[in-house]
Amino acid sequence: MNLPLEIAIAASEATIYDGGAAPAALACSTDTRTIAQGDTFIALRGERFDGHAFTEEAVRRGAAMLVVDRIDARVDGVATLLVGDTKAAYMAFAGAARGLFRGRVVAITGSAGKTTTKSFLAQLLEPRYGNRILATPENENNEIGVSKLLLAASNSDHDILIVEMGARRYGDVAELVDIARPQLGILTNVGEAHLEIMGSRERLEETKWALFARGARAVLNAFDDVSRRRARTLAQSPHWFASQPFALDDGMETLTALTGTGFLLHSSDGITVQREVELRVPGDHNRANAAAAAAGALEIGIPLEELPAELPRLRLPQGRYDRLAARNGLRLIYDAYNANASGMIAALDAFGSETASRRIAVLASMAELGEESEALHERVGAHAAALVDVLLVRGDYADELARGASRAGLSQRQIVRIGSNAQAAQWLREHASAGDVVLLKGSRKYKLEEIVEELRT
């Protein structure tokens, strides 16, 4: 969205310098490596960089205007907006761009499954909307990524925006909702991700529930305790979703469910419609993600009759339960994009249904769980015990994973402590064989993809 100059100035409360050289509208860029002729360069700060150090380079590469919060970063003769804070200004530009967008905006958040649900929803909408869907790429789901998406939207090119909203700190979702103003909000679940930073489960709940602070129609998980408890605070009854048949309680008017026996169930106004469907993604948690996407598609206006043909075509995004072949016939399942307790348990449940000579799980620790870290790691270890033949553990809470597995019945010879990815790969080369299947699951900080690389070279 090219933002008219006067709207940008008003939104950011900027002071303009060398205004005679200013473009009539802002095409925003934050990266000098990809800047185009005529763009406006916003000098953002990050943990390892300060965009103010690159204003001259931005101009050399074609920037027509700069947005800075340090007057000394101006370049003589170049139109400049001086603002109080460049990140706040960028978000203000995004909010103004959202105000100009005439299409539908869907926001998705949750402790687990939001990226998969986003991908599934885009896939379900694609037959009708084609390339007129704009969705958050990869994991660009913070205030910078959401702002970038809103500013990339165009009334001439897009009808639907699918905005993934992450939350690492208390109040993050509220900030994103303020600029994105979604008409539809999908909350996958409220788990335990980032508890250490949030401070408490109550603050985590408040952060996620802010998805509906601007009146978005709610799509909620029927098996999520927080959603069940808080749904009564919404102005209208939500659209519920589930990964199995579910009896609607009083006040629950609409439900979309995908069952393990191959049926799509949709209940509304007291009438339940059942359609046979083949879902090819593994795990109950991915049935829930698909059901959430189906509910979202119905809310957007996709006819129920069209979904049974589209649901079998759903494919997981990269990094989620990727099935990979290693040397010597060993099968790998890489699901280490990120990890929290509910996600670890869901992946283990799916893994438990794999047919193999042995099921070997490599579990790395989870991050940012605060005072509940030890208990949650023990819980994951105990859950793994019933589903795997061998458990490799590593990371800060490897002992707790091992302790939980041991207490739940795995013998000490079935539990292997590893100190590095190289050690894990070496153990698998020496002890795993054709017919075995290996799950790799853990926090991103442990870079379990290195094990994949080692075993495939």
May I ask the CATH class of domain 322-456?
alpha beta
> How far is the C-alpha of 380 from the C-alpha of 259, rounded, in Å?
25
pLDDT given at position 267: 94
Helix, strand, or coil here: 165? coil
Per DSSP, what are the bridge partners of residue 393? 363, 417
CA 33, 38, 39, 42 dihedral sign is positive
pTM of the model: 0.90
Kind and range of the H or E run holding 28: strand 28-29
Q: What is the CATH number of domain 3-88?
A: 3.40.1390.10
* Domain segments of the chain as ranges: 3-88, 101-313, 322-456
Query: pLDDT at position 337, please?
Result: 81
Q: Cα(160)–Cα(123) distance, rounded to whole angstroms?
A: 12
Superfamily grouping for domain 101-313 = Mur-like, catalytic domain (3.40.1190.10)
Give pLDDT, residue 193.
64
pLDDT of residue 338: 79
Q: Which residues contact 347 (CB under 8 A, 6 or more apart)?
A: 283, 285, 321, 335, 439, 441
pLDDT tens readout for residues 289-310:
999 999 999 999 999 999 999 9
Q: What is the pLDDT of residue 72?
A: 96
pLDDT score at 74: 96
What percentage of the chain carries pLDDT values higher than 70?
Answer: 98
* pLDDT value for 433: 92
Beta-carbon contacts of residue 433 (< 8 Å; ≥ 6 apart)? 328, 329, 330, 357
Extract the residue ranges of the chain whose pLDDT is less than 70. Answer: 193-199
